[in-house]
Amino acid sequence: ILTEKSSVNVVLLPTLKKGDKSWAVFSDLMKSPKPLICLITDNDCGAVQMKKGKYKMGLKDRSQSDVSKELKRIIRKILSGSQTSFQLETMAEVSGIRVDEEDTVCQKGKSVAMETVNLLQGMDVSKIKDKFLPCHGRLWHEWCRIKRELYHLKRNVEKDKSEKQQELMKIREEQCDASCSELVKLFIESLSSLPSTDKEYFLKWTQILIDALSTDDLMSILQSYDEKWSEVLDLKKKRDKSDLLKRKQTELEQISTKLQSATFGLEHIFREMGQIYEAHESLQKQTKRSQTDWSKYPELAAELMISGHPMELMDGDAGHVPLTWISSLLEEVIKRLGDQRVFVLSVLGLQSSGKSTMLNAM
């Protein structure tokens, strides 16, 4: 099964002589259409192509890094051709092996996830969050910034405090107005209507399909970020104070912002749920009939948390704990399980990054 399904077969052999006990295996692999690399321990020859897609390489008197480098080069060369990539669901074709994809619950979960993710097909990944998840982006980050400033008031303290509180309420109003996009509505409806087993598959498939949307874009952005970072680093080493350094740093910041926009996963949908809840809760604003009932969000999240789905307590991008959301979520967990003791395994983070705040919230 392994040799049939793999993209490249790499075999470690003591010798390559007829009559050797490994010869039968080697002979079968040579006849197979799959690419093959033979590593021979008692031979000191370099990498040689025996015939198309079949290579041999000696390991005698060679360091691990040399072998690794050469092996990577050959594999890269093989995979640059039109090789079919392995997909786990194809294992269903092998008799005696059962895969999740055959199960009805898995198929149901995938079809519901497809309906949700189909809304995003063909879109520029960096614009998805702005369009479908507006509450936890710029508005939430701005709210967090003003909230922090409330603890560092200057000038006329009471007046400054009043102005900032008004700004916070204005942002909450904007969040309420922008909330419940088509994506969130569909996601919440699916979570509410599916049984618990289907929910697990739905969430996993949603995560897989969302990751598939952004992988290629993220790779290219990360590559350009690395290149630009290297350029900035070189200029800093030369102690270059010219406009070129400033320009390169500005370009690096722009790529970083683009990277932030293109980073999109399942956790961002849950962040959006939290912010919709916080905004409506703080204003006690009723939703329209066409929108989903925000007051049920903590119940849904608590059910998932109890079933074992990890729930984010602190938004690392905003550097803030959404206290209203987390408190309501944990209250729902307590309602269902009783007031159990919480065991904290570990809390790691930079100084003043919110570790104590998070523990106090819990």
Residues 317-338, buried b or exposed e (16+ Cβ, 10 A)? Answer: ebbbbbebbbebbbebbeeeee
- Report the DSSP pairing between strands 36-40 and 9-13: parallel
Asked if 72 and 89 touch (Cβ cutoff 8 Å), the reply is: no
Query: Strand 48-51 to strand 54-58: parallel, antiparallel, or no bridges (unpaired)?
Result: antiparallel
Give the chain's mean pLDDT.
85
Can you give the pLDDT at residue 285?
Answer: 61
CATH topology of domain 2-86: Double Stranded RNA Binding Domain (3.30.160)
- Residue indicated by tokens 């705040």: 357
User: Is pLDDT of 342 > 60?
Assistant: yes
Of 31-40, 199-208, 287-296, 318-327, minimum mean pLDDT range:
287-296
Q: Are 321 and 352 in contact (CB under 8 A)?
A: no
3-state secondary structure 4-68: HHCCCEEEEECCCCCCCCCHHHHHHHHHCCCCEEEEECCCCCCCEEEECCEEEEECCCCCHHHHH
Q: pLDDT value at position 289?
A: 42
pLDDT, tens digit (0-9, with 9 covering 90-100), for 274-316:
999 999 998 876 555 445 688 899 999 999 999 888 888 888 8
Q: What is the pLDDT of residue 240?
A: 66
**Which ranges in the chain are annotated with CATH 3.30.160?**
2-86
